[in-house]
Structures are given as C-alpha cells and as structure tokens.
C-alpha cells in the first residue's frame, strides 16, 4: 500500500505537485530526449523523404541527424519511425493497409471477433503516437500483423462471389 502510493507519486501519476525534485528532473530529461528524437526523425524524413534511411537503421544513423548526441532509443512515435526508416511511401502503404482492411471488415464481416480485432489494432495505433513498441518490437509487429491477417481472412471468407470467381472454380 505505502510503497505503491510512493511509486505513484514519484512517477507523476498523482500530479506534478507531489513529485520529488529527482522525479521532476527525470521527467524533464525524458521530455528533452523525446523531443530530440522527434527532431532527429523529422530531419531524417526531410533528407530521405521517399525511402528513408533504411529499415532498422534509426539507431545507427540517429546521431548523424542531431546536433547533440542522443541517448540510445527510438523516436516514441511509430508514424515518425516508419517514415524515417522506410520513407513516406512506406508510411502511406502501412496506413492504407490498415484503413482498407478495417473498411472491408465493416463492409463484409462485422462480427464480435472482428470488432475485437479492430479495437486491438486501433489501440496499438493509438499507442503508436506515444511509443515505438508497436513497430520496433517483434511482439508489437506480430500482434498488429496477426490481427490484420485475421481481419483479411474474415473479409475473404465473407466477400460475395463475383461471376469471374465462380467461373474459375469450375475450370
């Protein structure tokens, strides 16, 4: 009880007026690092807008795009990370993949499992504005791609047959 309360106060969950000076300093340093990493990713995108600096090269190349050395970390935004590493074209393809998958799910296969899958995908997409784990970690990529695959599977199962598909079945 008491230990948990102290940790909540120290981490800032109960308001900054309850924080110690050390916790407040750590939060300011964290904000500075996040802002620096955001600026690094924007500089990467400006220099390599179409194809980025290369998949998984953010950590390797980040100090080339910063005036001061930045601590070892990814930018805490998956959209900036995708655009910096693989370019704006890849970011557009990624967003279109998610949009059209969800659009087709609403069109063809809305059921409790697909609604749950959409909620999980959208949750990861929302987390992506504040953290890099949905894309930078293997687990995050696996979750997003697994649920996108599940939705695409349901969509293909529930799409109505067209005449050309029926004709090819009998050949």
pLDDT in tens, 69-86: 877 688 999 999 999 999
Average pLDDT value for the chain? 84
For the cut 80, the answer to whether the pLDDT of residue 14 exceeds it is no
pLDDT at 161: 76
Indicate the pLDDT class of residue 160, thresholds 50, 70 and 90.
confident
With CA atoms as reference, report the closest residue to 144 among 113, 129, 114, 122: 122
pLDDT at 171: 55
For the cut 60, the answer to whether the pLDDT of residue 7 exceeds it is no
What does pTM read for this prediction?
A: 0.78
| Span 85-137, pLDDT tens digits | 999 999 999 999 999 999 999 999 889 999 999 999 999 999 999 999 998 89
With CA atoms as reference, report the closest residue to 54 among 97, 85, 16, 22: 85
Indicate the pLDDT class of residue 4, thresholds 50, 70 and 90.
low
How far apart CA 151 and CA 104 sit, in angstroms, is: 9
Place of tokens 């293997």: 138
Average of per-residue pLDDT across 136-147:
93
87 Ramachandran zone, left/alpha/beta (phi>0; psi -120 to 50)? left
Token code pair at residue 60: 């390797």
pLDDT at 26: 62
For the cut 60, the answer to whether the pLDDT of residue 6 exceeds it is no
Most trustworthy range by pLDDT among 28-32, 68-72, 126-130, 156-160: 126-130
């Amino acid at each position: 009880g008491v230990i948990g309360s102290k940790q909540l106060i120290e981490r800032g969950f109960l308001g900054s007026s309850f924080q110690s000076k050390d916790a407040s300093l750590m939060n300011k340093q964290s904000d500075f690092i996040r802002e620096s990493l955001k600026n690094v990713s924007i500089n990467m995108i400006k220099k390599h807008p179409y194809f980025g600096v290369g998949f998984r090269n953010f950590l390797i190349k980040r100090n080339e795009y910063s005036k001061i050395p930045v601590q070892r970390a990814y930018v805490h935004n998956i959209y900036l990370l995708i655009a910096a590493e693989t370019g704006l074209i890849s970011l557009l393809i990624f967003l279109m993949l998610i949009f059209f998958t969800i659009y087709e799910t609403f069109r063809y296969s809305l059921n409790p499992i697909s609604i749950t899958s959409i909620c999980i995908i959208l949750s990861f997409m929302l987390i992506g504005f504040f953290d890099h784990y949905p894309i930078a970690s293997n687990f995050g990529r696996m979750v997003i791609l697994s649920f996108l695959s599940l939705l695409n599977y349901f969509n293909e199962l529930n799409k109505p047959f067209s005449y050309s598909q029926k004709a090819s079945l009998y050949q």
